[in-house]
Amino acid sequence: MSANTPSSEDEAIAALRREYRYGTLSEVEVSGDPLIQFQRWFAEAEQSMVLDHNAMALATAWEGEPSVRTVLLKGVDETGLRWFTDRRSEKGHALTANPRAELLFHWRELDRQVRIRGRVVELSSDQSDGYFYSRPLGSQLAAATSHQSYPIADRAALEARYQELAAAHTETAPRPSDWGGYCLQPSQFEFWQGREGRLHDRLQYRLHERLWSIQRLQP
């Protein structure tokens, strides 16, 4: 079989498809403020019991290399969208070098996606403390145990470090100085609604001189 001849597995993957019939997205129905529109959709995802509806893909770029991973939204308001992580991680290094990113929410049960692009800033120590100490002790210990994205000899070494910390800290664990929050300050939103026949709806908001404009994009 030549390299250009599709395998049966490729053909099976290529044949995967379904119709999108759950909703529409119209310029006359959406809010002129993309944050309000996002909060509407977020609430609808929660009401529809979308599993992990606060999960979002975080895309960064560093030294010309793109990188993407899933993180959890932990707050949203007029200042932006917030999450927390180890700043020594790959994403932390990427955001230090290039403090711009894009977030993607995919709510498959509603055939919806939201892309949000903008500048990223670090949250204060007080904000990071506030969230860190609101977490269960086990989550605090895990964050204090892990030097995220760095190699370790084996699972046993990781668990041994965790048990050592757990024995020393039975009520709260110390927040690592490099563990903290980020906030993406949006300059662009795109709302995507799947439609029948692949003629999907896409509305893009762009910020210019503190005013948002809306335009429809072709699917």
- pTM (two decimals): 0.89
Structural domains of the chain, ranges and CATH numbers in brackets: 18-125+183-216 (2.30.110.10), 134-174 (no CATH)
DSSP characters for the chain? --TTSPPHHHHHHHT------S----TTTS-SSHHHHHHHHHHHHHHTT-TTTTEEEEEEEETTEEEEEEEE--EEETTEEEEEEETTSHHHHHHHHS-EEEEEEEEGGGTEEEEEEEEEEEPPHHHHHHHHTTS-HHHHHHHHH--TTS--S-HHHHHHHHHHHHHH-SS--PPPTTEEEEEEEEEEEEEEE--GGG--EEEEEEEETTEEEEEE---
Residue 71 has pLDDT above 80, yes or no: yes
Q: Work out the pLDDT band at 18, boundaries 50, 70, 90.
A: low
pLDDT tens for 148-200 read 989 999 999 999 999 999 999 999 999 999 999 999 999 999 999 999 888 99
